Amino acid sequence: MEPSILAQQAVNGLILGATYGLIAIGYTMVYGIIGMINFAHGEIYMVSAYLTAIFLAVLHFFGITSIPVVLIVVLVATLCITALHGWFVERIAYRPLRDSNRLAPLITAIGLSLILQNYVRLSQGARSQGVPTLLTGSFVIPAGSGVIQITHVQALIIVVAIASMAVLTFIMHRTSLGRACRATEQDRVMASLLGINTDYIISVVFVIGAAMAAIAGVLVSLNYGSFDFHIGFITGIKAFTAAVLGGIGSLPGAMLGGLILGLSESFFSGFVNTDYKDVFAFALLVLVLIFRPSGLLGQPLVTKV
Amino acid sequence: MNKMVQFGGVLISMLRLLSPPPAVAEEGIPIGVAGPFTGAYAAFGEQLWRGAEQAANDINAAGGINGKKIELFKGDDACEPKQALAVANQLVDRHGVRAVIGHFCSSSTIPASEVYAEAGILHITPASTNPMVTERGITTLFRTCGRDDQQGSTGANFIVNTLKANAIAVIHDKDTYGQGLADAMRTQLQRLGKKEVLYEGLTRGEKDFNALVTKFKSVNAEAVYFGGLHNEAGPLVRQMKEQGLKAPLVSGDGIVSEEFVIAAGGPAYAEGVYMTFGRDPRKIKEGQEVVDRLRKSGFEPEGYTLYSYATMQIVAAAIAATRGTDGAALAKWLHTHDVPTVMGSKGWDEKGDLKTSDYVMYRWNNKGSYEEVP
């Protein structure tokens, strides 16, 4: 086996996996706190891709071309507006149904995902949209008789994914907000009896999830250079799979699940067959669930008496 | 509950308002135009619609067909076989169309054609190139474009004779059109004494093909052939360039749209991609006036726009000549007569395929448009 090819496939898988992981965080946090799957999350990611293009165009209009400034402004602006979408989704589709049948929010989730898709389609058009190339060039690392190529955007994906995971872990484990989140996750009624505004905390969780999806949206749009209103569906399903694989409800599990999914897709596609890479990824998921029903890092659900 | 009932009532009355009256006007000739008007391939649907609409307007302005005006009905299949079937039934049952121009994707044209055949309606596709479209013995079905086996041969000859590539990777998108094209390529490569080094399918809707691109490197591909549409071809060629692959990408008429450049992320990425497509209809002498008229209305008649215009002319010519709209009679006339169109004179063999096809190679340049390879 040529070492440069092996290493390049590992890099491909890590980058793909990092974006899956970032989106998977939204699924896993929402499940952890209110025990439902937010199927509209993929569409939140799609919205952030559009916002990226819009903000890039706005900055270009004002003649701002310094790449670090553009990157930071676009990232922050997209993050804020996408987070607002996340908050809005929770407010109108889930909060009114919080104490109803478990199926009801699931159905509003699907409905909301249709609404978001068509709202974007009607306002932005059905055609694919392009993102101007912001960063060109790549790192070329010699390995064996060949080279490994990592574009600057891909390197940025890895760096930003690690940084945002670190920030998120810090928030969840070292701040009072994080403590309140974890308390609400463990027992919502008890947490509210102890003076935690659980409604507010649940909103915050949706906002954090959407913000992570926004980071992924900005990076992915810059990486692939184009998107359309359909991208939320496939990516959403993959990220959801990553969350289940890593153990839904577990934060490091989401990232781990994303990376495993990305790597397995990349290696299977690269060394066996591209036609069946999704079959392989889902077979892996089934196997994991047979032997560890709560996922790789998930906590078994304890029935509260 | 009461409110819900009221709301439901409002909804139902709104639906009633939306649906057009079922009666068909006596004096018009209803003709359906079907294609993907929404969804990822809406750009192609627009080409079909613009072409057919312009032709219908021009014919109506010149007095219609035997004094009757053409009325167009849009059928949106979103390039989904299931929806294509529903749309076909709707066009036939509700709008009572007398002829259908369309369906862009072969995977939509094939199921829909059965509905039209059963209803005895003339059906001409301007864009579906899969061989199976006309291989099923439907006598009222024609096409005004070439076939993928012809297209695949042109591509294969170009790769082997002009690009002089030995190691060729053949990729498709697992759809009827894309895989058909890839298979045609494989057959012709075999005839030329070459065997592809890779034959694999990617998933429509995905954006990350980096693993596949690295695989091209590992098999030392000297040329990559892709049977599929621009939404996947764009990211594929971008990632090939990002990984420093020198092998050129060759594809078919599924990327004949400016959207290919958008999907690739700019002309810099699309540059150097080859594709097969009929001789540029915009350059054909007979069509100049129509091209100018479409450009004036703010639409560049690229891709299948003029094919669709020509198809409308063919339908009109057949109806005018037979003085009726009976599918069998129209088909019989078309099998035995050549029709002058904006794309030159067209004639059909007994299967409904064009007697002559004219696939040539094009190359995308650094300005985001394509030029014929000399």
Q: pLDDT by residue (tens digit) across B108-132? A: 999 999 999 999 999 999 999 899 9
Domains identified in chain B and CATH numbers: 26-147+283-346 (3.40.50.2300), 149-279+359-372 (3.40.50.2300)
DSSP assignment string, A272-291? T-STTHHHHHHHHHHHHHHH
> Which candidate from B42, B235, B242 shows the least CB-CB separation from A126?
B42
Residue A86 CA to residue A46 CA, distance in Å, equals: 12
Q: In what order do the strands lie in the sheet with B198-201?
A: B198-201, B168-172, B223-227, B249-251, B274-278, B359-364, B370-372
Please indicate whether, in this complex, the C-beta atoms of B242 and A149 are within 8 angstroms of each other: yes
Determine the distance from the C-alpha atom of residue A28 to the mean position of all C-alpha atoms in its chain, rounded to a whole number: 10
Q: What is the CATH number of domain A3-291?
A: 1.10.3470
pLDDT band of residue B17 (cuts 50, 70, 90) is: very low
For the question of an ipTM over 0.85, the answer is yes
E runs forming strands in chain A: 129-130, 138-143, 146-151, 226-227
Tokens of A123: 């306002």
Q: B80: which chain A residues are within 8 Å (Cβ-Cβ)? A: none
Q: pLDDT by residue (tens digit) across A120-164? A: 988 988 778 888 888 888 899 888 788 899 999 999 999 999 999
Mean pLDDT, range B169-198, rounded to an integer: 93
Taking the Cβ of residue B43 and every Cβ of chain A, the question of whether any pair is shorter than 8 Å is answered with yes
Kindly report the pTM of this predicted structure. Answer: 0.82
pLDDT tens for each residue of chain A, 305 residues long = 688 899 999 999 999 999 999 999 999 999 988 888 898 999 999 999 999 999 999 998 898 888 889 999 999 999 999 999 999 999 999 999 988 888 898 899 999 999 999 999 889 887 788 888 888 888 998 887 888 999 999 999 999 999 999 999 999 999 999 999 999 998 899 999 999 999 999 999 999 999 999 999 999 999 998 898 889 998 999 999 999 999 988 999 999 999 999 999 999 999 999 999 989 988 998 999 899 988 899 877 665 55
Task: Provide the b/e sequence for B170-180 (b: ≥16 CB within 10 Å).
Answer: bbbbbbbbbbb
Residues 6+ apart with CB under 8 A from A240: A24, A27, A37, A41, A42
Q: In chain A, what are the domain boundaries?
A: 3-291
Q: pLDDT by residue (tens digit) across B49-90? A: 999 999 999 999 999 999 899 999 999 999 999 999 999 999
Please indicate whether, in this complex, the C-beta atoms of A126 and B266 are within 8 angstroms of each other: no
Please indicate whether, in this complex, the C-beta atoms of A12 and B39 are within 8 angstroms of each other: no
Among B117, B145, B121, B118, residue whose Cα is nearest residue B131? B145
* pLDDT confidence of residue B26: 53
Closest CA in chain A for residue B236: A224
pLDDT band of residue B2 (cuts 50, 70, 90) is: low
* pLDDT confidence of residue B24: 44
Q: A275: which chain B residues are within 8 Å (Cβ-Cβ)? A: 174, 200-201
Tokens of A170: 């810090």
Taking the Cβ of residue B228 and every Cβ of chain A, the question of whether any pair is shorter than 8 Å is answered with no
Rounded to the nearest 5°, which phi and psi values hold at A273?
-160, 130
Q: pLDDT by residue (tens digit) across B241-274? A: 999 999 999 999 899 888 899 999 889 999 999 9
Asked if B289 and B58 touch (Cβ cutoff 8 Å), the reply is no
* pLDDT confidence of residue A66: 87
> Which candidate from B214, B265, B268 shows the least CB-CB separation from A226?
B265
Among B27, B44, B78, residue whose Cα is nearest residue B230? B44
Query: What are A36's strand-pairing partners?
Result: none
The amino acid at B89: N
Asked if A143 and A4 touch (Cβ cutoff 8 Å), the reply is yes
pLDDT band of residue B193 (cuts 50, 70, 90) is: very high
> Which candidate from A126, A138, A224 shows the least CB-CB separation from B235?
A224
